[in-house]
Structure 1
């Protein structure tokens, strides 16, 4: 975090990234002194309601964040920034998105948790658009022109007022990650049985992790056999996340049921003193780690992997396990919505667990569900390609079969992609050949 005093004193000359959060009510004109170098500008957490008309003077600006400011309209000046690719105005009070506010090179537009009822048809002219995050708004539909955005890969429209998914959304050639829960088109099922676990039977211990949807802690549970069982407890927040509603996430976790490649749910917390919703889940062995890191601002929709390599057997085990878990989810009428390496835990044997149901959605109906399954097949195909790329030398026949499956999953014609039962069967056959 930088200071306004340092900016005004000229101490920040030549920097490429500037972050100011100091109660600003107006855009500091001194920022223009950085026009020869500034690429990333973060003014989140201030009290701004507008940006200067000549913002385009920041000729190298590629990334702009102005979240948690009381904007009511996406500023027109943004659209004149010729190099701007990433725009984030999360948790403001935006009601209007003018066509003039859309930069020509826009790749990622993040307008989560605002008051937007409609998007301009001009959004379809953003031919570089890869990521559109609109969860937690008041959208009733999407502009039909968005179908022209053939590079769009990630779409978050959870927690809006959308009645149905247009056919063109389900046929977008690059779309791989879709979250649409919390709309009238997709309602959580309330008939999934779940064990009630009393809050007083839980002894919370250290924090294991936390994210936008809640906090996970290790705990001891005095179970029905009156023995103390080590578990993980997730307490959910009520606020809208980039994926959607945490309560939708909880409903999806319950509906998913048990599977060897999912983090199984032991029960739902009952009787929390502050009436916080929460789940008690299987405690994962510490030898499991994340398969990848989440996308960066530069990679946009692609995970970040380290320099490690996979043996063919480990890569195949991971692919087969995740395919089986995802096939199970779709059999329950669920789409995961965030099938990524960074949401997979694995160990050196290739044992793996698919987690993070923040973007999961229930099928609106069986026909739409079949289309959603083949849309998600592309996400699996991208994951499979990442595994193949980082795999040690493998048998030529195995490599050819895996490459063929990857190509089938990522082909642009959604209806011609395999479903997850077929994907799992083909991976099983490849595994059998390897063992033979």
Structure 2
């Protein structure tokens, strides 16, 4: 990719606040973006070969959306956590193994997409984030949902295609959780807390492709209560 192409994109971004350069084979985060610390609200560098996110990423003080889907990132720098206006972070299809310890400081974050990475545990840092709407952790290597999950504030939690065999009863206490996706995991029906059905806010529970027949769900105590929530939510969408 020539310098003239990058220059043209930089000039456009200066006017629009949006820098988008996808599927161009970039191996590094463009250093020239530092000229636009005070301009950019959106950066999309998806579909490249970027291995490292530089420390300077923390200086984009107005940034609301950052997309780096399908790159080669293995970790995220602590400086990322300084982006106080960041609402959308898309990082699917990388090789990220964990989140920075300060990740909970991304106080404006609403949408977090981390599908197709190498996470082995559910990141408990998410429990500090108060405005989450959607968290997608599908296609990772997560094996359990820990007790700390009760603090998560998201409306939708996608854990499809992990290796989950254990779920803490605490998931029933998530105050805003309406949609829980657990398809294609390693769950026995005995490991599914009945309180998800009887005592939670969850109105859509997707558990196809686990180690039990889906019709067995109907035999669990609390299933009728769950179906009431499910039906009431469906009516809102019709």
Q: Any conservation in 1 of the 2:34–2:56 contact (CA below 8 Å)?
A: no
Residue 111 of structure 1 is matched in structure 2 by 114
1:384 equivalent to 2:235? Answer yes
Residue 194 of structure 2 is matched in structure 1 by none
1:133 counterpart (133, 136, 151): 136
Q: Any conservation in 1 of the 2:147–2:169 contact (CA below 8 Å)?
A: no
Residue 79 of structure 2 is matched in structure 1 by 77
In structure 2, stretches of 5+ residues that fail to align are 190-196
Shift of 1:61: 0.7
Q: Any conservation in 1 of the 2:9–2:19 contact (CA below 8 Å)?
A: no
Residue 431 of structure 1 is matched in structure 2 by none
Closer/same/farther in 2, CA of residues 53 and 185 from structure 1, 3 Å limit? same
Q: Any conservation in 1 of the 2:116–2:139 contact (CA below 8 Å)?
A: yes
Q: Any conservation in 1 of the 2:42–2:65 contact (CA below 8 Å)?
A: yes
Q: Any conservation in 1 of the 2:74–2:95 contact (CA below 8 Å)?
A: yes
1:124 equivalent to 2:127? Answer yes
Question: Greater strand share, 1 or 2?
Answer: 1
1:297-356 alpha-carbon deviations (Å, 9 max, x no partner): xxxxxxxxxxxxxxxxxxxxxxxxxxxxxxxxx9xxxx9948xxxxxxxxxxxxxxxxxx
Give the TM-score of the pair, scaled to structure 2.
0.77
Shift of 1:185: 0.5
Shift of 1:373: 6.6
In structure 1, stretches of 5+ residues that fail to align are 188-329, 339-358, 388-436
Q: Any conservation in 2 of the 1:337–1:361 contact (CA below 8 Å)?
A: no
1:178 equivalent to 2:25? Answer no
Closer/same/farther in 2, CA of residues 123 and 144 from structure 1, 3 Å limit? farther
Matches of 1:380 and 1:137, distance apart in 2 = 31
Residue 228 of structure 1 is matched in structure 2 by none
Equivalenced residue count is 217
Which secondary structure state, in structure 2, belongs to the residue aligned with residue 51 of structure 1?
Answer: coil
1:18-417 maps to which residues of 2 (within 5 A)?
Answer: 18-21=19-22, 22-102=24-104, 103-149=106-152, 151-185=153-187, 337=204, 361=208, 366=217, 374=225, 377-378=228-229, 380-385=231-236
What value does the CA root-mean-square deviation take over the aligned residues? Answer: 3.0
Matches of 1:13 and 1:47, distance apart in 2 = 24
Give the TM-score of the pair, scaled to structure 1.
0.44
Closer/same/farther in 2, CA of residues 381 and 39 from structure 1, 3 Å limit? farther
Which secondary structure state, in structure 2, belongs to the residue aligned with residue 99 of structure 1?
Answer: coil
Q: Any conservation in 2 of the 1:7–1:31 contact (CA below 8 Å)?
A: no
Closer/same/farther in 2, CA of residues 366 and 41 from structure 1, 3 Å limit? same
Matches of 1:182 and 1:48, distance apart in 2 = 30
